[in-house]
Amino acid sequence: MCGHGLCLSLVLLSLTSGAASEYSTKTDSDYDFGDYRGKWCLDDHGFVYDIGEIYYPSPRSCPCTCTEDGPLCIKPQCPRIHPRCTRISYKFCCPVCEAVSKVCVHGGKTYKVLEEFTLSPCEKCRCEANRQVYCTVSECPALHCVNPVYEPHQCCPVCKSGPNCFAGNTVIPAGVRVDVDEQTVCFCSYKDGTWETHHQAACEPRKQPDAPGGTSEQMVEERLPPQLDLIP
């Protein structure tokens, strides 16, 4: 026999020991979800996604599709990073430009917005508001000579000796007739107030001087026999 208090204590102790014994017989596998592949997908935070559902496994991950074989992730075509980006963030699937240079960079040099500069005597450039450099090349006028020269710090060549052209291999000035030999006279063509840009001169036979007793044409006619009228 036991006292009322002692018997109650023994009963409670027996119940507690039985419960502890029952709990201790279970293993971790009894509380595991098991192999969830082919059933669902999990992200880094433990959220569950069904087969065919699109989700992000982590904040930096690209979108993935939950499949029976696990997540299928394909990196999308990311936007092009600005060529003058100075700070790029890789916190997301695609890199993001966080800061863009406020100057133009060309040929290893920096230029302020709307600043103009020259790359050569013929090429002028400007830094536009969109941080792009745009250049233009000067157009040179047509020359009317065959021996142009380039002056220092000048873009276009000039005709220092004036308009001219070739008579064979000889350079002759425009505006005059030049005897290139005893039989030929040449001249640079002239039209509409400007010298044409033909490199070769126009040449023609030189007129022979008049012989004594008349012109050469008259003497030739005198030496020809008289023409007889044809009798039908």
DSSP for 40-97, please give it: EEE-TT--EEETT-EE-SSTTSPPEEEETTEEEE----PPPPPTTEEEEE-SSSS-EE
* The two structure tokens encoding residue 166: 């070739």
Longest Cα–Cα distance of the chain, Å, equals: 185
Q: Is the pLDDT of residue 149 over 90?
A: yes
61-74: average pLDDT: 88
Bridge-based pairing state of the strands 184-187 and 178-179: antiparallel
* Per-residue pLDDT, 115: 94
* Per-residue pLDDT, 134: 94
Q: For the chain, how big is the Rg over CA atoms in Å?
A: 51
Task: Name the β-bridge partners of 134.
Answer: 126
146-166: average pLDDT: 90
Average pLDDT, the chain: 76
What is d(CA 19, CA 16) in angstroms, rounded to the nearest whole number? Answer: 5
pTM of structure: 0.40
* 28-42, 77-91, 141-155: least confident range: 28-42
pLDDT per residue over 105-126, tens digit each?
888 899 998 999 998 888 999 9
pLDDT band at 219 (very low <50, low <70, confident <90, very high): very low
Structural contact between residues 134 and 163, judged by C-beta atoms closer than 8 angstroms: no
pLDDT per residue over 170-217, tens digit each?
899 988 889 888 888 998 876 665 656 578 888 889 877 665 555 444
Q: Is the pLDDT of residue 30 over 50?
A: no
Ordered by where they begin, the domains of the chain are 36-101 (no CATH), 104-137 (2.10.70), 144-209 (no CATH)
Instruction: List, in order, residues 6 or more apart from 8 with CB less than 8 Å away.
Output: none
pLDDT per residue over 5-29, tens digit each?
444 444 444 544 444 444 444 444 4
